Structures are given as C-alpha cells and as structure tokens.
C-alpha cells in the first residue's frame, strides 16, 4: 500500500475514485467541489440529486461523468471551530469512510484533496496528521486499495502540501507500518 502526495489537478487524476470535498447539499459549490462538478459535467449533478444531503464525515459515491476517474466519492468535511467540537474525529471519518466506500466499489486507487482546509477553515498543520493517520490505519485493513494519493492545487497548495508531507514523514518515523510507502 502506498500514500502519495503531489501537486496536481484532482480533476485530471487517472484513478479509480476521486474524493470530493462537498457541501451538505451535494449540488456543487466552490473550490474542489465546484471544479469537480464543472469538469465532470451534468452527470455528477444528476447523480447527486438522487442521493439527498448527508452528514459530516459520511461518504456517498456517484459516477465521475466526464472525469478520467471512474467514481466520485462525495464527503462533507467539518468546519473548523477551534478543534474542540469533534473536528479531528469528523475529519478522520471523512478519510475512513471514503476509503471504505472506495473498497466497496472495487477501487484500487483513490485521490484525495485537502478536506476542509479551504473555505471550511481547517488549519493544514492540524488536518495533515489526522488525514495521514486515518488513511494509513484504514489502508492497513483495506489492502485492496493500493494507492491513496493526496493532491494539492491552487494558490495555497504549497503551504498545505508541505503540512501534509510533514505529517506523513512524522507518521512513518513514529510508527512505520509494514508495506506503507510514502512517496
């Protein structure tokens, strides 16, 4: 199993599933959500309408429409309110549930954005360790998923990417997992 970190456009990722950091309505929005809906075309919006909204930390899948991926796994991440209102647990749940849904779909490769680090205000230095630990632990029990790729793009991507890279480096130093390869 492998966790990769890269600067790239998630809408161009050739993976089995991309994760969409959506809003609770699933009907498109700004940031990653808007980019995925624009690039994927109307098929994604049509599929989302049939799902209804859902809770923070849960995940639901749709077609990827015109995207090179096969599936879009929609999650709603937590708004950052200081970290004392369950934000770390909810963010971890986003990663766990996304990978569980991906495994149910038979996916081997999944691309993630920096969930909640945009307009939801989650500090990258806080989100990185949560995302890396939840992903690594989930990959341990879902060996059918071979690659979890974290993709960063846009004006603040360098700072966020560096925070996630530090978190992954620290995780692999503190408790190296057999078979976990950080790229």
* Contact status, residue 175 vs residue 136, Cβ threshold 8 Å: no
- Cβ atoms of 3 and 170 closer than 8 Å: no
* Arithmetic mean of pLDDT, 25-46: 86
Three-state SS sequence of the chain? CEEEEEECCHHHCCCCEEEEEECCCCCCCCHHHHHHHHHHCHHHHHHHHCCCCCCCCCEEEEECCCCCCCEEEEEECCCCCCCCCCHHHHHHHHHHHHHHHHHHCCCCEEEECCCCCCCCCCCHHHHHHHHHHHHHHHHHHCCCCCEEEEEECCCCHHHHHHHHHHHHHHHHHHCCCCCCEEC
> How confident is the model at residue 118, as a pLDDT?
87
Nearest CA to 150 out of 129, 119, 176, 178 is that of: 129
What is the band of 13 on the pLDDT scale with cuts at 50, 70, 90? very high
Instruction: Please say if 33 is a catalytic residue.
Output: yes
Residue 175 has pLDDT above 60, yes or no: yes
Reading the block at residue 131, the tokens are 């995302």
Q: Point out which residues pair with 75 in neighbouring strands.
A: 21, 59
Residue of 33, 58, 66, 183 marked active site: 33
State the average pLDDT over residues 116-130: 93
Tokens for 89?
């647990």
pLDDT at 172: 87
Domain extents in the chain: 2-182
* Cβ partners under 8 Å of residue 103, min gap 6: 142, 144, 145
Fold adopted by 2-182: 3.40.220
Does 180 or 122 have the greater pLDDT score?
122
pLDDT of residue 156: 67
pLDDT at 150 exceeding the cut of 80:
yes
Q: What is the mean pLDDT of residues 148-159?
A: 86
Can you tell me the distance from the alpha carbon of 99 to that of 180, in angstroms, rounded to the nearest whole number? 16
Q: Over the chain, what is the mean pLDDT?
A: 90
Top pLDDT among 63 and 173 is at 63
């Amino acid at each position: 199993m492998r966790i990769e970190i890269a600067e790239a456009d998630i809408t161009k990722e050739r993976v089995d599933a991309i994760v969409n950091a959506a809003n609770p309505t699933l009907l498109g929005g700004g940031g990653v959500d808007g980019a995925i809906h624009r690039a994927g075309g109307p098929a994604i919006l049509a599929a989302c309408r049939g799902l209804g909204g859902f809770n923070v930390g849960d995940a639901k899948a749709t077609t990827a429409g015109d995207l090179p991926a096969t599936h879009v796994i929609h999650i709603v991440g937590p708004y950052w309110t200081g970290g004392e209102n369950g934000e770390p647990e909810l963010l971890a749940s986003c990663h766990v549930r996304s990978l569980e849904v991906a495994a149910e779909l038979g996916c081997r490769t999944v691309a993630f954005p920096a969930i909640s680090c945009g307009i939801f205000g989650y500090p990258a230095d806080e989100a990185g360790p949560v995302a890396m630990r939840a992903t690594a632990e989930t990959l341990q029990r879902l060996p059918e998923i071979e690659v979890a790729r974290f993709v960063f793009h846009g004006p603040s991507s360098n700072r966020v990417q560096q925070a996630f890279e530090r978190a992954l480096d620290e995780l692999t130093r503190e408790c190296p997992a057999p078979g976990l390869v950080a790229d």
